[in-house]
């Protein structure tokens, strides 16, 4: 059982309580799953999260609590936060597997808990993840709705990195639906935030995405400008793989 403790940082008895909670809330999904199956699922989700994805929120953080909160209340909220985090990790794994309906079901359970305990940041993450799942189902209207809810939260929190990623997700949806103007707008907004905050890596990604959008819409001069800037920035931050790929895109344009 050591691998269980290493995953959750909890004693086995406390872990069993969390597994029981998952079973109670998801009787159909867990009917044929052993406790070890549930834990392995979450471990796999941890590995997926650790790999990182540039257009997806993947790292939940604990919500801050007022200094004068009573210890009992903090304990209850921390426990709820951990259960919600577990749901979100499982939902992300299903999303990576393309099992979008199940991902949406699990992510909504996580969202419900975050909303109950007032964890606004992780609510924003979950709305973004839900948007990605709906996008996977080609339900673009609901994807846009989820991204907008996530964006509203990130704006209230003043979270620049969150806003940058959601602008990118918005742009991807509008690009898929052939709405060039809206895709362009959101890529530009993401780029502006990256430039303002001095985030060179995301600035490179934003320039690349914008350049690709222009290239696909036969705006070659604008495409070349942004792709060349992206290559320079990828070189600057030391991402040789993306720099080489961008260089090949530029060569194919000549």
Here the tokens at position 38 are: 């549930």
Checking if the pLDDT of 14 tops 60, the result is no
For domain 159-254, give its CATH number from 3.40.50.10280, 3.30.450.40, 1.10.3470.10, 1.25.40.10: 1.25.40.10
CA separation (Å) from 8 to 31, 46, 93, 100, 171? Answer: 22, 11, 17, 25, 36
pLDDT of residue 253: 86
Cα–Cα distance, 51 to 21 (Å, whole number): 28
pLDDT tens-digit series, residues 188-236: 999 999 999 999 999 999 999 999 999 999 999 999 999 999 999 999 9
Checking if the pLDDT of 57 tops 50, the result is no
Residues of the chain with CATH 1.25.40.10: 1-157, 159-254
Write down the pTM of the prediction: 0.69
The band of 25, judged by pLDDT with boundaries at 50, 70 and 90, is low
Q: What is the mean pLDDT of residues 6-32?
A: 55
Checking if the pLDDT of 78 tops 70, the result is no
Checking if the pLDDT of 59 tops 60, the result is no
The band of 86, judged by pLDDT with boundaries at 50, 70 and 90, is confident
pLDDT of residue 49: 38
Cα–Cα distance, 200 to 220 (Å, whole number): 24
Q: What is the mean pLDDT of residues 163-168?
A: 92
Cα dihedral 207/213/215/216 (nearest 10)? 160
CATH architecture assigned to 1-157: Alpha Horseshoe (1.25)
Q: Which of 147, 229, 242, 224 is nearest to 194 (CA)?
A: 229
pLDDT of residue 181: 96
pLDDT of residue 90: 86
More confident residue, 42 or 109: 109
Q: Where are the beta strands (DSSP E) in the chain?
A: none
pLDDT of residue 187: 95
Q: Is the dihedral of CA 127, 132, 133, 137 positive or negative?
A: positive
Mean model confidence pLDDT for the chain:
78
Q: What is the mean pLDDT of residues 15-42?
A: 63
Number of H helices, E strands in the chain: 13, 0
């Amino acid at each position: 059982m050591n691998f269980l403790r290493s995953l959750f940082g909890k004693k086995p008895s406390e872990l069993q309580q969390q597994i029981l909670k998952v079973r109670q809330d998801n009787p159909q999904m867990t009917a044929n799953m052993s406790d070890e199956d549930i834990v392995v699922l979450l471990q796999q989700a941890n590995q997926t999260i650790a790999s990182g994805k540039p257009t997806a929120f993947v790292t939940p953080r604990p919500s801050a609590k007022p200094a004068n909160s009573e210890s009992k209340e903090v304990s209850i909220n921390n426990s709820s936060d951990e259960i919600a985090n577990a749901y979100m990790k499982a939902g992300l794994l299903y999303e990576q597997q393309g099992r979008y309906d199940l991902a949406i079901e699990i992510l909504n359970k996580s969202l419900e808990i975050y909303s109950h305990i007032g964890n606004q940041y992780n609510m924003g993450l979950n709305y973004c993840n839900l948007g990605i799942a709906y996008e996977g189902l080609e339900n673009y209207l609901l994807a846009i709705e989820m991204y907008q809810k996530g964006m509203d939260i990130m704006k209230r929190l003043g979270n620049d990195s969150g806003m940058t990623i959601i602008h990118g997700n918005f742009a991807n949806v509008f690009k898929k639906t052939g709405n060039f103007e809206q895709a362009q707008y959101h890529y530009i907004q993401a780029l502006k935030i990256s430039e303002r905050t001095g985030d060179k890596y995301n600035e490179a990604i934003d320039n690349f995405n914008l350049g690709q959008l222009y290239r696909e819409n036969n705006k070659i001069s604008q495409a070349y400008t942004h792709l060349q800037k992206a290559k320079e920035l990828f070189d600057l931050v030391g991402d040789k793989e993306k720099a080489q790929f961008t260089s090949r895109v530029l060569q194919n344009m000549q």
